[in-house]
Amino acid sequence: RYPLADLFLATVPYGAHTTASDALWMAVPVLTLSGRSFASRVCGSLVRAAGTPEMVVESADEYVAQAIAFARAPDTLVALRTRLRMHRAHCRLFDMENLTTRLEALFEDMAERHRQGLTPTPDLTGLEAYLEVGLGFEHEAQEMLLEQDYKARYHAGLERRHAVRPFVTSRQGNTTRP
């Protein structure tokens, strides 16, 4: 039934994942709003990998305006559909041979770095505080992209948390504060 659609509108704040891949495979253009969370950015990654980065917008107003523009210009959608169909076999999203080759090379590189003693050890100091503050936001109720001053809100949350429980000292001896 996908091929019957002129345009696939990905949802916000949880963008389409598998359904967007299915639509792109069937050459249905996908319009998506790229948010701040992983769940709201996956669809944008898929759309870019399919070779249609112009279908990823950065604001709710742009999303609505673009959807209306497509409704008024069906020839644009036909051109996008043709482009998706023509490039499907060679775009990054569906080029499984290239993906497999690159993934194998990454695994080989990781194994070699481990043999050389270069296994990375992340410094996770402060992670608990970041998670605690981030989880305190009502992500279910609002796409954080639409939050006017997300960074200030996040930093205020970190300051409140630090006032109650100061941040820990890292392995390097520095107090970890965002």
Average pLDDT across each block of 10 residues of the chain; the chain has 178 residues. List them in order: 91 88 96 86 95 94 96 96 94 93 97 93 82 78 66 85 77 52
Q: Are residues 76 and 16 in the same domain?
A: yes
Q: Could you give the number of structural domains in the chain?
A: 2
Beta-strand (E) ranges in the chain?
8-9, 30-33, 56-57
User: Which range marks the domain in which residue 133 is found?
Assistant: 121-178
Report whether 24 contacts 3 (CB < 8 A). no
Residue 112 within any structural domain of the chain: no
Clarify whether residues 71 and 12 are in a common domain. Answer: yes
- Which of 67, 87, 107 delimits the end of a domain? 87
Q: At what angle do helices 60-72 and 74-87 cross, to 10 degrees?
A: 100
Structure tokens at 41: 């950015």
Both 83 and 131 in one domain: the answer is: no
Predicted structure pTM score? 0.71
Looking at the fold, whether 82 and 6 belong to one and the same domain comes out as yes
If asked whether residues 82 and 7 sit together in one domain, one would say yes
| CATH number, domain containing residue 40 | 3.40.50.2000
Give the containing element (helix H, strand E) for 70.
helix 60-72
pLDDT attached to residue 114: 94
User: Is 106 a member of any domain?
Assistant: no
Count of CA atoms in the C-beta half-sphere (13 A) of 11: 8
**Same domain (yes/no): 65, 9:** yes
Q: pLDDT tens digits, residue range 63-114?
A: 999 999 999 999 999 999 999 999 998 899 999 999 999 999 999 999 999 9
Residue 134 lies in a domain: yes
Residue 72 counted as domain residue:
yes
For the sheet containing 56-57, what is the strand order?
8-9, 30-33, 56-57
